[in-house]
Structure 1
Amino acid sequence: MAKKAKRFRIGVEGATTDGRKIERSWLTQMAANYDPATYTATINMEHIKGYTADSPFRRYGIVDKLEAVEIADGALAGKMALYATITPTDDLVAMTAKMQKLFTSMEVNPEFADTGEAYLVGLAVTDDPASLGTEILQFSAGASRNPLASRKLSPDNLFSAAEETLLEFEDIADPKPSLFSVIKELFAGKQTTDDARFGDVHKAVGLVAEEHQNLSGKVDKQETAITGFSDQVKTLEEQLTATQDELATLRQELSTQDNRTDRRKFATGGNQESQELTNC
């Protein structure tokens, strides 16, 4: 199974290794702007970027996502922090399991490309926070030439002081191969005997039968659901028909009441011979 790292903190607003300060706005800009399709920040060792795949300074993963969140409690309460989600290589997982490379340091470009805003262009893992912490902060700030300049992608980039990192990994299940690919792989090998070939055919038939059974079960469930839905529709139609019949009956009764022919006789008043004046 592949490994996926849980979200962890990679930087906090504050000091860098060359006397500058990581601005709060940089962290929020990096979180908002980061997109692997634009530029993928890779994970390196000690900010040294090797060129060969077998070098100790090869890449150890990629950064997938960034989030900026203000710290709610503790000594850093109120400060803005940047959190990363990464895809590590097996080598990085193995190193952290041996308590190696437990700190991270960001490489920040304060004005990335033509955006004029900050962007994370790299993430380093390191053993000793002092190597990118207080001692080198003091040395770099007073030095005529930054000793880490050769490790930067751009002279204007800066490295953050190393943060202690809690790298926690979780297993990601590998995707299930398709039936076609399994059978194709099964017949890819060259068998030397009829028994071996027959065995492969037998396995392929078994896989097809199993997949057919699974598919048949899914179809049965869908049919059951459709049948249940049809029954509900039929019940509603019957209820509607009954309501329509009741409404028609009520309408007929009201129509009959409105057509009554018996009326109250006209009143003639006190004089029987006088003309009829009222019928009320």
Structure 2
Amino acid sequence: MGKKSQFFRAFVAGQTISDNREVTPEMIDEIVETFNAETYSPRINIEHIAGYSPEPPFNGYGDVIAVKKQVDEFTIAGKTEKRPALYLQVDANDQLFTLSKRDQKPYPSVELTPNYAGSGKVGLIGLAFTDTPASIGTQRLNFSRVNGSMIATSDERAALAFAEDADGKDPVDSIVNRLFSKLTGHFKPSEPEKTKEEPAQPANDNFDLGKFTADMSAAVAGSISEALAPIAEAQATHQREFAALKAKLEGEPDTTFSRKLVSGGGADVLTDC
């Protein structure tokens, strides 16, 4: 089960920061009008990247379950004014909960369609959490623990509030922890295992450090073997030629041998003593 958040501000009428699109109050009205979680539940992703794999980091982080409109006061270029804002409520899983506690990807960024289900009206089809939101006035994820619950520390900075798990423990065994464990595990001595399981195949849209390391090792080993092959072949040839020459010399008589002449002369043989 996920964790239901408080409503948080995700979208404000006016020009966007990144591309100067105009967000009208009517667009917010249409989003509220067309939203129905039972008909279509907008999924949460990271940086607007919805991966094909169920593995992190570009998998699902929960769903948007409710929307509402609210008029808030903002100070823009030294002027205070009131603008309509879109508020969302999400049902988040442990991945989003842990990201918020780590202060990673803290800002919401909505994904819209101009023709929701053929209605000709703007509709919400997704929500991302990012470092660079397009809209002004978005509320970042921020938490503090008070009396066993996760609550907003202030109206401006804290966007989400979650209840802790039913067993009273934080979801520390999150996918983010597992991701960093996999990375750091490659630099620690391996420990013997009782059983070996077939490693899962990485998804196309995820980076697998283990496979990358193995591929690089194989490529380097192949390059070294290829570079040393001529040297090894030449050495083997020299060894064969040396062995053949040695065998040839050992089978031929020594023509340089001469025996010392005996003492004496003529036909008589004399002793040396």
**Given the two structures, how large is their TM-score scaled by the length of structure 2?**
0.48
More helix by share: 1
Q: TM-score, normalised by structure 1?
A: 0.47
